[in-house]
């Protein structure tokens, strides 16, 4: 593999439009079977180079008589005679970016060697992507422009390099047919909300763990991860017929990742070390949190309306007061405050289910959410494990209550920063990871959840989301339109595929690409963190990755130094 532009074209542009893309006829010596949907190709026009994604492959014939009277299966000679002239392959390309050298923009004519040979196009030889002015496609190449396989230099020009000094890049995988990294711009990735999508079994959790590892390694943001199935913190079971485990973020970055658990017994049984307990009290649960889990608890709107009356009377302790009320107390309260006895009694009965959640206490002498905030402010990354509480009631209630407090704190700190303009007061960028995201961002609930607020605010308060979901069609369309970068594994449902391309220009041309992904280790990446859509073979999450990405400096410390550092960190956080 060389860095020079391939000197052998694979086809010529025969038709096309800016809206529907280009049709390319393959040259006779190019096999149609070498063309894969999602392949990255370049088209050399008279003035510009176009970077394109292959979206479809078709077969063509010069005459209908050939189709009506095809060669015999054993007649290899006739098939070879017809190949290339009478029968041929065509591919459809969707141009994504274009590059025009400066001298062309000024009206100077470039030499034919620069345009069609292996010599660089103007500043195209630049070593970092930031030095190349890649523009959105606003025109198309002329008839018979030559099409080339993308070279390593093309990928570097578009997607950058991990050692690019101008950007905080992270290699997420490789193109389908080349051994060259495809990088995400992590600064662009974390400043907006993002999504990892794919049907069950396509490796969403592994891909999410990969992305989180890159963000931690490059210090692009602090992370708060609500780990529903205990897959991100310490270790997880790998996919495959043989049982095996892979490292979690705490094992990769012992000095940077902290684990908080809502189920200490479950966490200890799995051999997790140094996990910190996390509890919530009834006075930390608000009506907004109950509205989110109203379907799980079976709460009616009438019950929630009466909850407002209780909250007005008893303040933050209204849930505990309600659970301790007798029938006579409810009757007396309703007579005095004009509440509905049946609705309040039903609310009391439904809220008794909260008593079964081990992490809910009548009162907490320690503010665990404030402790998490201190960890995040100190640059730590926090994984909240749920253990045996991996049902939707526990997950949604805790995630919403904790996130609401943290978001409120970030709003306060952001307003102080905007008022003072003091860079020392700038909040550290925070990315919150949630699974089963459609349960939080459902169109009927998105206006009431803190996650819907964060998704709509974009980067206003330095908080963004990483949503992990197998049903993107269940997420509100307004929220999906605000998702900056979408990393999508295989999806089969038409509604889910439509949802992925909500708000994406030219999304129809990419539908076939998404539908043809392999079920494992392939993903379509498009959006804010990449210059153009690209299909990648995702980076393996294995021993090689551990060695490249892990926090090796921590492992080199003596045990007594590790223990002393851990104790000092706890002292700094006040516990």
Q: With CA atoms as reference, report the closest residue to 210 among 244, 176, 186.
A: 186
Mean pLDDT to the nearest integer, 562-569 = 44
pLDDT value of position 161:
87
Report angle CA 473, 474, 480 to the nearest 5 degrees: 65
Per the CB < 8 A criterion, the answer to whether 392 and 312 are in contact is: no
Percentage of the chain with pLDDT > 90?
40
Nearest to 445 by CA among 471, 468, 479: 479
Q: Which residues pair with 223 in a beta bridge?
A: 431
At 102 the pLDDT is 67
565 or 507: which carries more pLDDT confidence? 507
Nearest-angstrom CA–CA distance, 490 and 517: 6
pTM score, two decimals?
A: 0.84
Using left for φ > 0, alpha for ψ between -120 and 50, and beta otherwise, residue 67 falls in alpha
Between residues 15 and 448, which one has the greater pLDDT?
15
HEC readout, 352-385: HHHHHCCCEECCCCCCHHHHHHHHHHCCCEEEEE
Give yes or no for a contact between 127 and 152, defined as CB atoms under 8 angstroms apart.
no
Q: Is the pLDDT of residue 107 over 50?
A: no
Query: To the nearest whole number, what is the mean pLDDT of the chain?
Result: 83
Average pLDDT estimate for 474-488: 91
**Which two tokens mark 338?**
């004009």
Which pLDDT does position 457 carry in this prediction? Answer: 81
**What gap in Å lies between CA 211 and CA 313, rounded to an integer?**
46
- For the segment 11-36, the average pLDDT, to the nearest whole number, is 91
Predicted local distance difference test score (pLDDT) of residue 224: 96
146 DSSP β-pair partners: 12, 44
CB 196 within 8 A of CB 467: yes
Radius of gyration of the chain (CA): 28
Residue 12 pLDDT greater than 60, yes or no: yes
Q: How confident is the model at residue 73 (pLDDT cuts 50, 70, 90)?
A: confident
Q: Which two tokens stand for residue 254?
A: 């012992």
What integer pLDDT is reported at residue 148 of this predicted model?
A: 95
pLDDT in tens, 79-102: 665 666 777 889 999 999 998 876
3-state secondary structure of 171: strand
User: Of 226-230, 245-249, 262-266, 379-383, which has the strongest mean pLDDT?
Assistant: 379-383
548 falls in which pLDDT band (50, 70, 90)? confident
Residue whose token pair is 């193109």? 175
> For 121-158, how does the pLDDT look when each residue is reduced to its tens digit (9 = 90+)?
433 444 444 556 788 899 999 999 999 999 888 888 88
Per-residue pLDDT averaged across 539-561, rounded?
A: 68
Q: What is the DSSP letter of 83?
A: B
* Per-residue pLDDT at 300 exceeds 80: yes
In the prediction, which pLDDT does 41 show? 93
Tell me the three-class secondary structure of 17-74, residue by residue: ECCCEEEEEECCCCCHHHCCCCCEEEEECCCCEEEEEEEEEEEEECCHHHHHCCCCCC
Q: Which pLDDT does position 24 carry in this prediction?
A: 95
pLDDT reported for residue 22: 94
Tally of CA atoms within 13 A in the half-sphere of 105 that contains its CB: 11
Lowest-confidence segment of 12-16, 342-346, 513-517, 566-570 by average pLDDT: 566-570
Q: How far apart are CA 256 and CA 375, in angstroms?
A: 10
Q: In this structure, what token pair is assigned to residue 547?
A: 């060695």
Q: What is the residue-wise DSSP string for 184-244?
A: EEHHHHHTS-EEEE--TTS-HHHHHHHHHHHHHHHT--EEEEEETTS-SSSEEEPSSSS--
pLDDT of residue 295 exceeding 90:
no
- What SS3 state is found at 75? coil
Both tokens of 517, joined, read 């992904």
- Which candidate, 542, 532, 495, places its Cα nearest to that of 510? 532
76 pLDDT exceeds 90? no
Residues 363-412 have pLDDT tens digits of 888 889 999 999 999 889 999 998 887 788 889 999 999 999 999 999 99
Compute the average pLDDT of residues 271-290.
89
Query: Burial, 361: exposed, middle or buried (Cβ in 10 Å; 0-12, 13-18, 19+)?
Result: middle
Q: Which structure tokens are listed for 549?
A: 């990405």
**Is pLDDT at 119 greater than 50 in this prediction?**
no
pLDDT at 1 over 50: no
User: Rounded to an integer, what distance in angstroms lies between the CA atom of residue 26 and that of residue 391?
Assistant: 53
Query: What local confidence, expressed as pLDDT, does residue 79 receive?
Result: 64
pLDDT at 44: 93
What is the maximal distance between C-alpha atoms in the chain? 97
- The pLDDT score that the predictor gives to residue 279 is 92
pLDDT, one tens digit per residue, over 197-243 is: 999 888 899 999 999 999 999 999 999 999 988 889 888 877 665 66
Strand 522-527 to strand 485-488: parallel, antiparallel, or no bridges (unpaired)? antiparallel
Residue 420: count of CB within 10 angstroms of its CB: 11
Rounded Cα–Cα distance for residues 43 and 439 (Å)? 44
Joined tokens for residue 504: 């994406």
pLDDT computed for residue 166 by the predictor: 80
Answer whether residue 108 shows pLDDT above 90. Answer: no
Pairwise pLDDT comparison (134 vs 23), residue with the higher score: 23
Looking at 38-47, 122-131, 546-555, which range is the least confident one?
122-131
- Residue 248, classed as helix, strand or coil, is coil
Angstrom CA distances, 30 to 37, 145, 431, stand at 16, 16, 46
pLDDT surpasses 50 at 175: yes
Answer whether CATH 3.40.50.300 is correct for domain 184-278+366-561: yes
Cβ burial, residue 229 (10 Å; 0-12/13-18/19+): middle
Tell me the C-alpha distance between 356 and 292, whole Å.
18
Q: What long-range pairs does 323-327 form, CB within 8 A, spacing at least 24?
A: 323/282, 323/348, 323/351, 323/352, 323/355
């Amino acid at each position: 593999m060389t860095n020079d532009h391939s000197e052998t074209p694979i086809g010529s542009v025969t038709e096309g439009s800016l809206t529907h893309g280009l049709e390319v006829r393959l040259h006779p010596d190019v096999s149609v079977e070498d063309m894969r949907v999602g392949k990255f190709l370049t088209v050399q026009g008279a003035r510009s180079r176009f970077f394109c994604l292959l979206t479809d492959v078709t077969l063509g014939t010069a005459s209908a008589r050939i189709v009506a009277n095809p060669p015999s299966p054993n007649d290899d000679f006739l098939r070879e005679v017809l190949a290339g002239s009478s029968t041929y392959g065509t591919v459809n390309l969707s141009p994504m970016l274009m590059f025009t050298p400066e001298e062309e923009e000024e009206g100077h004519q470039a030499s034919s060697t620069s345009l069609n040979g292996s010599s660089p196009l103007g500043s195209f030889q630049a070593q970092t992507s930031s030095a190349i002015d890649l523009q959105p496609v606003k025109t198309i190449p002329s008839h018979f422009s030559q099409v080339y396989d993308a070279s390593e230099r093309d990928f570097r020009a578009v997607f950058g390099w991990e050692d690019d000094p101008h950007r905080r890049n992270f290699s997420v995988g490789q193109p389908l047919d080349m051994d060259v990294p495809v990088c995400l711009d992590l600064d662009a990735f974390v400043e907006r909300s993002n999504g990892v999508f794919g049907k069950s079994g396509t490796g969403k959790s592994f891909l999410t763990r990969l992305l989180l590892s890159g963000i931690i390694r490059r210090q692009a943001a602090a992370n708060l991860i609500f780990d529903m199935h205990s897959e991100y913190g310490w270790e997880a079971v790998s996919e495959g017929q043989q049982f095996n485990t892979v490292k979690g973020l705490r094992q990769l970055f012992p000095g940077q990742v902290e684990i908080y658990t809502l189920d200490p017994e479950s966490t200890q049984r799995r051999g997790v070390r140094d996990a910190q307990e996390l509890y919530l009290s009834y006075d930390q649960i608000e009506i907004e949190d109950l509205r989110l889990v109203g379907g799980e608890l079976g709460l009616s709107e009438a019950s929630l309306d009466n909850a407002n009356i209780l909250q007005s009377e008893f303040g933050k302790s209204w849930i505990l007061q309600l659970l301790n009320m007798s029938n006579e107390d409810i009757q007396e309260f309703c007579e005095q405050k004009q509440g509905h006895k049946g609705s309040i009694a039903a609310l009391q009965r439904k809220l008794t289910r909260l008593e079964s959640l081990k992490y809910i206490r009548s009162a907490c002498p320690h503010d665990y959410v404030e402790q998490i905030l201190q960890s995040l402010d100190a640059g730590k990354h926090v994984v909240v494990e749920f253990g045996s509480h991996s049902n939707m009631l526990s997950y949604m209630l805790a995630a919403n209550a904790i996130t609401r407090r943290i978001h409120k704190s970030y709003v306060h700190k952001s307003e102080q920063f905007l008022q003072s303009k003091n860079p020392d007061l700038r909040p550290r960028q925070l990315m919150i990871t949630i699974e089963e995201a459609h349960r939080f961002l459902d169109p009927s609930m998105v206006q009431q959840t803190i996650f819907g607020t964060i998704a709509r605010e974009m980067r206003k308060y330095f908080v963004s989301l990483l949503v992990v979901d197998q049903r993107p069609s269940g997420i509100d369309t307004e929220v999906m339109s605000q998702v900056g970068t979408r990393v999508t594994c295989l999806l089969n449902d038409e509604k889910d595929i439509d949802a992925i391309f909500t708000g994406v220009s030219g999304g129809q041309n990419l539908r076939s690409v998404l539908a043809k992904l392999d079920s494992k280790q392939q993903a379509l990446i498009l959006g804010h963190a990449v210059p153009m859509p690209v299909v990648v073979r995702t980076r393996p999450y294995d021993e090689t990755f551990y060695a490249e990405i892990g926090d090796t400096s921590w492992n080199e410390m003596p045990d007594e130094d590790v223990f002393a550092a851990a104790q000092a960190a706890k002292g700094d956080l006040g516990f």
